[in-house]
A = this chain, B = another copy of it.
Amino acid sequence: MTASFSMSAEQRAAELGLRIPDYTNPPYGGRYGAGLKAFHRTGDFVELSGITPETRDGEQVHPGAVGTEVSLAEAQDAARQTAINSLGLIRLAVGSLDAVAGLSRALCFVLCAPDFDRLNEVSNGATDLFLDVFGPEIGAVGRASIGATSLTRRNSFELWLSFEARPLT
């Protein structure tokens, strides 16, 4: 929140002290299936693979159903960690956070019980982080928040993100 928007996204991420995972070492994929890749770029449009609140070692941040097993605050923390992980995928896809021209859409899946209705507040944990890092011009994003019956390993959150990359020079 103290980060100035005159800084670049990489500078803001550094100032915020974010620990962004490196998806080159070990290489992305392999944990959940064969032949999965982190992203695909068609022209300047980039689609990222699904991202979860897990460390690169597979340690989970607050797994379980939001509203019963996981509190709103914990779910927001899981969503924020997921967004930080997505920054690592963005670096893998386009080399630097500063190569993002604009976020496009964030489809947010929340593992939750049927009577939990504050899904948007969970997703804010992810999209507020984007705003802090990219600023309001690049970091604003379209969004939907969808309650899932289950997610792999009962993660509480999963992010499905697309963005526009700066043109290759």
Interface residues of A (CB under 8 A from B): 29, 32-40, 42-45, 47-50, 65, 102-105, 107, 109-121, 123-124, 127-128, 130-131, 136, 139-154, 158, 160, 162, 164
Contacts of A37 in B (CB 8 A): 140-142
Which residue of the partner chain, among B32, B40, B144, B148, contacts A120 with CB atoms under 8 Å?
B32
Which applies to chain A's interface (DSSP): helix, strand, loop or mixed? mixed
Which residue of the partner chain, among B39, B119, B128, contacts A152 with CB atoms under 8 Å?
B119
Copy number of this protein in the oligomer? 3
Separation of A119 and B141 alpha carbons in the complex (Å): 27
Separation of A134 and B89 alpha carbons in the complex (Å): 24
Separation of A150 and B45 alpha carbons in the complex (Å): 30
Separation of A98 and B143 alpha carbons in the complex (Å): 25
Q: Which residue of B lies closest to A134 (CB)?
A: B35
| A15 shortest CB reach to chain B, Å | 18
Task: Decide: B105 and A40 in contact? CB cutoff 8 A.
Answer: yes
Separation of A24 and B93 alpha carbons in the complex (Å): 34
Q: Which residue of B lies closest to A31 (CB)?
A: B120
Q: Which residue of B lies closest to A33 (CB)?
A: B124
Q: Which residue of B lies closest to A101 (CB)?
A: B42
Task: Decide: B146 and A109 in contact? CB cutoff 8 A.
Answer: yes
Contacts of A143 in B (CB 8 A): 32-33, 36, 49-50
| A151 shortest CB reach to chain B, Å | 6
Contacts of A109 in B (CB 8 A): 144, 146
